[in-house]
Amino acid sequence: MTRGSAPNPPIELQGSAWTEEGARGWRLSAPVGWLAAAVLTLILSAPLVRAQPLHIDEPNILEFAPHPLPVLVRDIFVQRGGAPLQFLVEHFTLRWPGGIEGLRVPSLLFALLAVVLAGAWGSRLVGLGESVVLAFLLASAPLAVDLATFGRMYALFLFAILGASALALRAGTTNRRPDWVLAGAAAGALVYVHPIAPLYAPFVLAGSVAVTERSLRTLVPGLRAALIAAGVVAAPYLWALAVLTRRYDVGTGSALGSTGDRSVIEESVLGLTPGGGAFAVVALAPAVVGFVSLHRRRPRVALLLGLWVLVPIVFFSVIPANTRFFVRYVVTTLPPLLLLVAAGAFALGRLVGRPALVGAVVTTILVAVGIFEDVSRVQKAQAVGVAELVSLSAIPQALLFSSTGSPIADRPAEHLDTYVALRRPHMRRLEELPSINPPFDPTVTERGRAAVSAYLRDATGTARGVWIFRGPVHRVVHAERLLAQVAGVESARASKTLLVVRSTAPLPPRDLIEQAVHVRRAWSIGSRSDRWVDALIAIDRVALAGTGDRQAPSPP
């Protein structure tokens, strides 16, 4: 076939659309299925917008996104080597609608769009029937649902990868130079969404080769134009890459570690499949069948999808760097993996002459397992009690102090006051731990002392203190017992593990800070887990002593 000649029949007719009549039915129903899957994502994810405490990484957005745009680009891209696009989006959404919605709803919108885009992408590569299965599997995938309300760039990254892939598929189908240039520019721009984009960009452009039956020779001019466009757009990333290499000591040290003493491969398998444990094998079995089936009919597509799944996992397994691996780094392998699962389900069905029926059964099982995990996550998040926390904190003349307690995974107690401030933006606040990540900020206690000293020096009138603690049930019970002996305060539980302490009457600034010391002492038992509670006590005491020019206590 020569360049410019009519392309082969659409791939979708060679996949699940085994009859022309069936093909027409799928063309009509598939987009409806993609949209229905997006609605499922909305149902599963929306409750988490307000139910989840802040993730340890979300305050990075809150710290930098409000800055003026030139300062934001300098701080994130030039000085830290990060990808600025999510920060640019949140620069505006934190102004409107603002609050916790401004932080998390952008990710939710990108996740919904990604589900629809995944369906369109899958229909071009494999088939319309498989594309509907893909959309529902992605819509209920626990990793995708979790990241749909994570106020960082991962839902945007998934959306951008699929969007760039759709442009590449179009370029491979039309083989027109403008389409190639646009696809290349989109692939190059991915580095401004996430710094690990160069790992995935080759698969984006490789889709243009997989989608067509043209010979590689006829595609070379277009691919060359795409690569040039990608290089031009991504060129400034070389600076960020150098910064990141220095920050994380990439190329030195040992291979990346993961959570729970698991290998990167184990963490990836558990994170990319619903159900976890032994069920991961059940979930991956159709993917193997799908790869074999596609390799017989569409070897280019099979190779693309298989390498897209395996190469990132292998890369993170062997690359040495001074950081940890998180399964969200491979979230963009979900679409190719789930498309292989969908292809495998239909391939199994063709063996018994019932592809649609078997595809529906496999989909129902995997989606049901995913939904069960998603609903459990919502229930666990709601059990924390952040909604009740906001209600209990909203008292007249409130002054919100820094929260703390026992360390809890990736939802630190030290960010609970920030969560309340997002839900109650007009609430007065005294940040004694003014840092997005206190353990790695050597100036945090000095700046906290300065904030308390400024409050003692400049505040007028009275206020009622609000203190938030989170920890194991036995620590909450212990604190309640001691707080009953502290004059002028009352305590109330937002949940079994979440305690809110409030002043019973308004106090002048100095009396309120002294009360803060007594409240924190009721929580602390002097253990390692109380290092930030003890630091707050020391900060308040130094400020009360009037040592404005004396060194604040060092961070624990």
Please state the three-class secondary structure of 93-154 as a single string: HCCCCCHHHHHHHHHHHHHHHHHHHHHHHHHHHCCHHHHHHHHHHHHHCHHHHHHCCCCCCH
Q: What is the pLDDT of residue 550?
A: 46
CB-CB contact of 401 with 389 (8 Å): no
Decide: 104 and 145 in contact? Cβ < 8 Å: no
Q: How far apart are CA 456 and CA 188, in angstroms?
A: 52
Tokens of 490: 């009352």
Stated pTM of the model: 0.93
Q: Which long-range contacts (CB under 8 A, 24 or more apart) does 120-123 make?
A: 120/34, 120/166, 121/162, 121/165, 121/166, 121/169, 121/335, 122/335, 122/339, 122/342, 123/12, 123/30
CB 413 within 8 A of CB 406: yes
User: What's the CA gap between 333 and 312, in Å, rounded?
Assistant: 8
Query: How open is the CA angle 485-486-489, to the nearest 5 degrees?
Result: 120
**Dist CA 556 CA 212 (whole Å):** 60
List of residues 6+ apart from 39 with CB closer than 8 A: none
The predicted pLDDT at position 19 comes to 46
Q: Which residues pair with 495 in a beta bridge?
A: 498
Q: Residue ranges of the domains in the chain?
A: 19-382, 386-544
Counting other chains too, the contacts that 429-432 makes at CB distance below 8 Å and 24 or more residues apart are 429/399, 429/400, 430/399, 430/400, 430/401, 430/402, 430/455, 431/402, 432/401, 432/402, 432/536, 432/539, 432/540
In a structure prediction context, what are the per-residue pLDDT tens digits for the chain, which is 556 residues long? Answer: 334 443 434 434 334 434 445 556 567 789 999 999 999 999 999 999 999 999 999 999 999 999 999 999 999 999 999 999 999 999 999 999 999 999 999 999 999 999 999 999 999 999 999 999 999 999 999 999 999 999 999 999 999 999 999 999 999 999 999 999 999 999 999 999 999 999 999 999 999 999 998 888 999 999 999 999 999 999 999 888 888 888 877 777 667 777 667 889 999 999 999 987 888 988 999 999 999 999 999 999 999 999 999 999 999 999 887 778 999 999 999 999 999 999 999 999 998 888 888 889 999 999 999 999 999 999 999 999 999 999 999 999 999 999 999 987 789 999 999 999 999 999 999 999 998 888 888 899 999 999 999 999 999 999 999 999 999 999 999 999 999 999 999 999 999 999 999 999 999 999 999 999 999 999 999 888 899 999 999 999 999 998 544 455 555 5
Cβ-based neighbours of 545, under 8 Å, separated by 6 or more: none
Q: How far apart are CA 403 and CA 407, in angstroms?
A: 12
Nearest residue to 534 via CA among 445, 411, 409: 445
Judge whether 409 and 379 are in contact, CB under 8 Å: no
Distances in whole angstroms, Cα of residue 102 to Cα of each of 73, 92, 105, 232, 502: 20, 8, 6, 33, 28
Q: Which residues of 461-489 are buried (b: 16+ CB within 10 A; e: fewer)?
A: eebbbbbbbbbeeebbeebeebbeeeebb
Distance, CA of 308 to CA of 339 (rounded, Å): 11
